[in-house]
Amino acid sequence: MNIAGKAPLDTGWDADQRKVIEADTNARLAVEAGPGTGKTAVACARLAHLINEEDIEASNTWMISFTRTAVAEIRARLHSYVGDASFAIRIATIDSHAWSIHSGHDPNARLTGSYEENITRVIELLKSDEDVADELAQIEHVVIDEAQDLVGQRADLIEALVNRLPSDCGVTVFADEAQAIYGFSDDSIGRRKGEASKPGMPLLDRLRGVKALGFTTFVLKEIYRTSSPGLRKIFSELRSDVLDKQKHRDGLHGQTAERIRALADQQGLKWTQMKVADFTSDDLLLFRTRAEVLMASQFCALPHRLRLSGYGVTLPAWLAICFADFVDPFIAERRFLDLWAARIENKAAPHYGPAEAWQHLMRVAGRKDGSVDMQRLRRRLGQTRPPVELTLPEYGLHGPIVGTIHASKGREASNVVLLLPNGVEFESIEDEIEETRVLFVGATRARASLIVGESHAFRASTLASGRVHRSARNGKSTMVEIGRDGDITARGLVGRNEFSAADAAAGQAFLTKVADVVTTYKLEADADLDWRYRIRAGNEGPRVGALSRNLTYDLWEILSNRNQKKSHRPPGYVNHVRGQGCATIVLSPDDNDLETLNEPWASSGFILTPRIAAFPPFFFSGRR
Ligand SMILES: Nc1ncnc2c1ncn2[C@@H]1O[C@H](COP(=O)(O)OP(=O)(O)OP(=O)(O)O)[C@@H](O)[C@H]1O
């Protein structure tokens, strides 16, 4: 297949891009380029070229990226270039590559060690273990995208990996230092996290610094993301300023924000006068912090999607709707298509049809006889990181995407509304430079237009669990984030302790009906469940689940932080908890929670869950 013909435009790849795509199989390339110059597109095309034109085995190639959402997008792009061969390429985040080296070669590998301990062990294995060396000897090419974000231990890991690769294994690394975001989370501005505050030397410089590794630098110059003149200035001139060390001094953040306002297609809007519902599916609304995203989402009754940390990948509702009562060990295509026709068609249908859904199932757990192995399917889907091809990239139904800048790195959208934080103060110049790069990333996501608005400044806090809360109505209520990973579990939905079999069935039947619409729930504290909150549909509807203790603990933590543990208690009920349709929870056949569930879910392992992401007000009441 001619990859050039697959370029996004009839004109094909430009000369710089082509040099990278068609470089020698075993070349070591460091590609530096700004936003929208096609780094990710070229990364995919390079692998496609190697597989299609140079006879490199897809299974002997690795593609490493920083985030799981990026991985999903890369898989989709590669599929369009090389078809099903893309499924053989090991596309994953650096963390999951590290984990597979660890678990494959260390008999004592356990998930219990801290993140740092695990990485340290993997680096040791890379340096000294002969089996690891044997495995690496098979690799013919490694592509690393978004390398600017790999710092500290992750950069050590990549360096150790590249050092151990056979000398004829090619490596292509892409990076844009102007987009490096390493130290901060998307929780709040200027909150540094652990060792990331000492980023050290950028990975590209480290690799280029070792002569023996043999890296040559390439640059991509042409901007393809946008033709808007203002945006192109942001992508190029503003980028030079962000990178210019001479300009790294007090006031850089404010000046950068000012420049973005001046070059944007529209500016001066106030978030208080806008709402999520004013936008369409082509729009991406970007906020700096998670709390701002949660606020914007809480006040939007129409379907929309969320993109922020803490809301893991979700599996589509059709899986549970088809398989909740399916207990046979295997399923044949005919049977699946019947289930789809009866339960999914015209209801909770995803953007693909039954034939494609079946192909996904076959790839994940297909057998030689053409049927799908249900136990295997459950094992694969029940992992914390299920196969990307069956997961949904955003949390929600459809409509505009509301997200943090951090969670939108490497992505693009037709129209971007960037809500700039105002009146920010920084503790150090490093903080300010880091936040300036965050602004730059936010301002470079748009293809057609960038609208800049001012966000509404308010204070919010984050608990140890990562849950955000903020005081509202002059302290009368507290808005608390609901729907984080772990808030709703299989037990909370269909556990025997929580529900009779009949009530669980009624709850699941209700969720099937609302699998693709927005639904408002009410939380009710239940004394019989140790004051955990039950989730009721509307005021009078069925109870569809019970939240885990995580929320109850966190509410007491809020009271404790305020010294109100003795005088106040969490409210008996909470309104305005919205769910964006439903998703599926899958339990692996060896999951201990299965025995606590009602039938048929204890046998099937597929459970429907409301997709809740809400920031409702809690009125803590005084104890008498
Ligand atoms: N030669 C080309 N002709 C036309 N469009 C192109 C070409 N190369 C890339 N593009 C398009 O330009 C857009 C930006 O590409 P891509 O997302 O790969 O950029 P990037 O450098 O990875 O950006 P970022 O650093 O912001 O993540 C994509 O829509 C891509 O399809």
* DSSP assignment string, 19-41: HHHTS-TT-EEEEEE-TTSSHHH
For residue 365, pLDDT over 90 is answered with yes
User: Does the ipTM surpass 0.85?
Assistant: yes
470 beta partners: 479
pLDDT tier at 389, thresholds 50, 70, 90 = confident
Q: Cα of 487 to ligand 1 centre, how many Å?
A: 38
Q: Which of 58, 74, 77, 73 is nearest to 8 (CA)?
A: 77
pLDDT value at residue 5: 42
* DSSP assignment string, 370-421: S-EEHHHHHHHHTSSS--GGGSBSSEESSS-EEEETGGGTT--EEEEEEEE-
Write out pLDDT tens, residues 118-131: 788 888 888 888 88
Residue % of the chain over a pLDDT of 90: 63
Supply 66's token pair: 């920083």
Supply 360's token pair: 């996904």
pLDDT value at residue 4: 42
Average pLDDT over residues 468-473: 92
The 10 Å Cβ neighbour count of residue 324 is 21
The architecture of the domain spanning 229-312+394-458 is 3-Layer(aba) Sandwich (3.40)
For residue 112, pLDDT over 70 is answered with no
Q: Do the domains spanning 3-220 and 229-312+394-458 agree at the CATH topology level?
A: yes
441 Cα nearest atom in ligand 1: 26
Q: Cα of 570 to ligand 1 centre, how many Å?
A: 50
Write out pLDDT tens, residues 540-559: 899 999 999 999 999 999 99
Q: Which of 10, 31, 37, 221 to mutate to test the pocket of ligand 1 (most atoms within 8 A of CB)?
A: 37
The Cα–Cα gap between 289 and 211 comes to 41
Q: Which of 223, 225, 405, 444 to mutate to test the pocket of ligand 1 (most atoms within 8 A of CB)?
A: 225
Residue % of the chain over a pLDDT of 70: 92
Cα angle for residues 301, 466, 470 (degrees, 5° grid): 55
Supply 393's token pair: 């990239």
pLDDT value at residue 527: 95
The annotation status of 520 as a binding-site residue, yes or no, is no
For residue 289, pLDDT over 70 is answered with yes
pLDDT value at residue 2: 42
pLDDT value at residue 491: 98
Indicate the CATH number of 3-220 among 3.60.20.10, 3.20.20.10, 3.40.50.150, 3.40.50.300: 3.40.50.300
Q: Which of 6, 14, 21, 39 to mutate to test the pocket of ligand 1 (most atoms within 8 A of CB)?
A: 39
pLDDT value at residue 110: 56
- Contact by Cβ (8 Å): 443, 249: no
461 beta partners: 469
pLDDT value at residue 99: 72
For residue 197, pLDDT over 50 is answered with no
Q: Cα of 415 to ligand 1 centre, how many Å?
A: 16
Supply 518's token pair: 């927005």
Q: Which of 306, 304, 317, 314 is nearest to 397 (CA)?
A: 304
pLDDT value at residue 193: 53
Write out pLDDT tens, residues 293-321: 999 999 888 889 998 887 767 899 999 99
For residue 108, pLDDT over 80 is answered with no
Average pLDDT over residues 99-109: 66
pLDDT value at residue 95: 75
Average pLDDT over residues 187-207: 68
Q: Cα of 70 to ligand 1 centre, how many Å?
A: 14
For residue 147, pLDDT over 80 is answered with yes
Mean pLDDT of the chain: 89
pLDDT tier at 3, thresholds 50, 70, 90 = very low
Cα angle for residues 507, 512, 513 (degrees, 5° grid): 100
The annotation status of 36 as a binding-site residue, yes or no, is yes
Supply 592's token pair: 């201990």
Average pLDDT over residues 270-298: 90
Q: Which residues line ligand 1 (CB under 6 A)?
A: 7-9, 13-14, 17, 33, 35-41, 176, 179, 224-225, 410, 412, 444
The Cα–Cα gap between 622 and 447 comes to 52
Average pLDDT over residues 365-375: 97
Write out pLDDT tens, residues 51-91: 989 989 999 999 988 776 677 778 888 888 888 788 888 88
Write out pLDDT tens, residues 222-232: 999 999 999 99
Query: How do beta strands 573-586 and 606-612 pair?
Result: antiparallel
For residue 267, pLDDT over 80 is answered with yes
Least confident range of 273-282, 322-331, 463-472: 273-282
User: What backbone phi and psi angles, to 5 degrees, belong to 181?
Assistant: -125, 110
User: What backbone phi and psi angles, to 5 degrees, belong to 243?
Assistant: -85, -20
- Contact by Cβ (8 Å): 604, 612: no
For residue 214, pLDDT over 70 is answered with yes
Write out pLDDT tens, residues 416-444: 999 998 778 888 888 899 999 999 999 99
Average pLDDT over residues 472-482: 91
Write out pLDDT tens, residues 36-52: 999 999 999 999 999 98
Least confident range of 3-7, 220-224, 372-376, 476-480: 3-7
Q: Which of 3, 18, 40 to mutate to test the pocket of ligand 1 (most atoms within 8 A of CB)?
A: 40
Average pLDDT over residues 230-254: 94
* DSSP assignment string, 152-215: HHHHHHHHHHHHHS-TT-EEEEEE-GGG---SB-SSSTT-B-GGGG---S-HHHHHHH-GGG-E
Q: Higher model confidence: residue 226 or residue 101?
A: 226
pLDDT value at residue 11: 59
Write out pLDDT tens, residues 350-360: 888 999 999 99
Average pLDDT over residues 147-173: 90
12 Cα nearest atom in ligand 1: 1
pLDDT value at residue 111: 54
220 beta partners: 33
Helices (H), 515-581: 549-561
Average pLDDT over residues 19-23: 96
pLDDT value at residue 120: 85
Give residues with Cβ within 8 angstroms of 336, minimum separation 6.
322, 354, 357, 358, 361, 372
Give residues with Cβ within 8 angstroms of 95, minimum separation 6.
154
The Cα–Cα gap between 597 and 565 comes to 34
pLDDT value at residue 407: 87
How many CA atoms lie less than 13 Å away from 317 in the CB half-sphere?
29
Supply 543's token pair: 């109870």
- Please give the C-alpha separations between residue 120 and each of 114, 124, 125, 143, in angstroms, as whole numbers: 10, 6, 9, 22
The annotation status of 33 as a binding-site residue, yes or no, is yes
- Contact by Cβ (8 Å): 52, 82: yes
The annotation status of 39 as a binding-site residue, yes or no, is yes
pLDDT tier at 450, thresholds 50, 70, 90 = very high
Q: Higher model confidence: residue 283 or residue 94?
A: 283
The 10 Å Cβ neighbour count of residue 213 is 17
The Cα–Cα gap between 487 and 532 comes to 11
The annotation status of 37 as a binding-site residue, yes or no, is yes
User: What backbone phi and psi angles, to 5 degrees, belong to 351?
Assistant: -75, -5
The Cα–Cα gap between 142 and 90 comes to 10
Q: Cα of 488 to ligand 1 centre, how many Å?
A: 38
Domain boundaries, given as residue ranges, for the chain: 3-220, 229-312+394-458, 315-385, 468-622
33 Cα nearest atom in ligand 1: 21
The Cα–Cα gap between 501 and 25 comes to 60
pTM for the model = 0.89
pLDDT tier at 154, thresholds 50, 70, 90 = confident
Supply 508's token pair: 């699941």
